[in-house]
A and B are shown apart, each in its own frame.
Chain A
Amino acid sequence: GNSVTQMEGPVTLSEEAFLTINCTYTATGYPSLFWYVQYPGEGLQLLLKATKADDKGSNKGFEATYRKETTSFHLEKGSVQVSDSAVYFCALAEAPNFGNEKLTFGTGTRLTIIP
Chain B
Amino acid sequence: DAGVTQSPTHLIKTRGQQVTLRCSPKSGHDTVSWYQQALGQGPQFIFQYYEEEERQRGNFPDRFSGHQFPNYSSELNVNALLLGDSALYLCASSAQARSNTYEQYFGPGTRLTVT
Interface residues of A (CB under 8 A from B): 4, 32, 34, 36, 42-46, 49, 51, 89, 91, 93, 96, 98-108
Contacts and interface: CB of A to CB of B under 8 A. Distances in A.
Interface residues of B, number: 29
A103 B56 contact: no
Interface stretch (B37-45, B61-69, B79-87): B37-45
Contact of A99 (B44, B99, B108): B99
Interface of B: 4, 31, 33, 35, 40-45, 48, 50, 55-56, 58, 90, 92, 94, 96, 99-100, 102-109
Contacts of B104: 46, 101, 103
Given A42-B108, A99-B50, A101-B94, A106 B102 contact: no
B42 A101 contact: no
